[in-house]
Amino acid sequence: MFHLNSTDNRYGGTYVSPQDLPNNIDDFKVLITVSLELWRKNQIKVVWINIPNKKSIFLSVLYALGFENHHCSESFVMLTKRLQEEAIIPPYAKHTIGVGGIVINDDNEVLSIREKDHIKTHPHNWKFPGGMLDPSEHFSEGVMREVFEETGVKTQFGSFIGFRHHHQGQFSTSNIYAICRLKPLTRKIVIQESEIADARWFPVDDYLSDEKIGEYNKQVLKSALAFTGLSSIKLPGYMSSENDYEVFLTQ
């Protein structure tokens, strides 16, 4: 009897891709039932199945069989089912990644912003430009992009200074926020009016002595002034030279 084609992985699981799915729900009901019996017989630990939006009608069948949502994107839902009780299913991404740029010019001024969302609740929250990384974007690329988008200042990546980690990120994730030092290539400020209330070149001494500015930002700035940080180098990826690594090392 026919069954669903699937690809086994090295962890004892098997994966059903959208290309392996039939076109109608009646065929799917038969194939998934037969396949589950076969997978159990073959000692498969976990089944992964990718359901594209156009075949979302299949979801009710899988839920009835005990499959659970694992993650999704705009075009699909990934579901899993343990066939062995002790099988481990790794959780989906638990962290969001952000970047912040410490940009200091030759006049010892640091680029700082106030976000529109903070004007009423934290009117003196002069912070450093930054934001979330885009998919497949390296730290060095993302921080230069964010600084330019928010302030209009073009920069050159300098070094990695450190990071902040907390557990109140977007969508119930934890958040890692990488702090980088950048060299300004331009000085004219053109704010991103949709998000930024204002931006300025803040004299470093004034910034550090301002009692209203938070201790976190001051400590970050002090670290950037005191240490050169880690340089960024690109190395070929393990699986493909097209997917390179960004590595931060002392030079």
Q: Which residues of 197-219 are buried (b: 16+ CB within 10 A; e: fewer)?
A: eebebbebeebbeeeebeeebee
Percentage of the chain with pLDDT > 70?
Answer: 96
CA distance 155 to 182: 6
pLDDT for 238: 63
CA distance 228 to 251: 10
Q: Of the ranges 46-60, 93-107, 162-176, 227-241, which one carries the lowest mean pLDDT score?
A: 227-241
Segments of the chain assigned to CATH 3.40.630.30: 7-82
Architecture of domain 95-249: Alpha-Beta Complex (3.90)
CA distance 60 to 126: 50
Residues in the chain: 251
pTM: 0.80
Q: What is the mean pLDDT of residues 218-246?
A: 82
Q: Which secondary structure element, helix H or strand E, spans residue 237, and what is its range?
A: none
Percentage of the chain with pLDDT > 90?
Answer: 78
CA distance 51 to 89: 18
CA distance 14 to 20: 12
Segments of the chain assigned to CATH 3.90.79.10: 95-249
Class of domain 7-82: alpha beta
CA distance 197 to 118: 9
Burial class of residue 153 in the structure, from the number of CB atoms within 10 Å of its CB (0-12 exposed, 13-18 middle, 19+ buried): buried
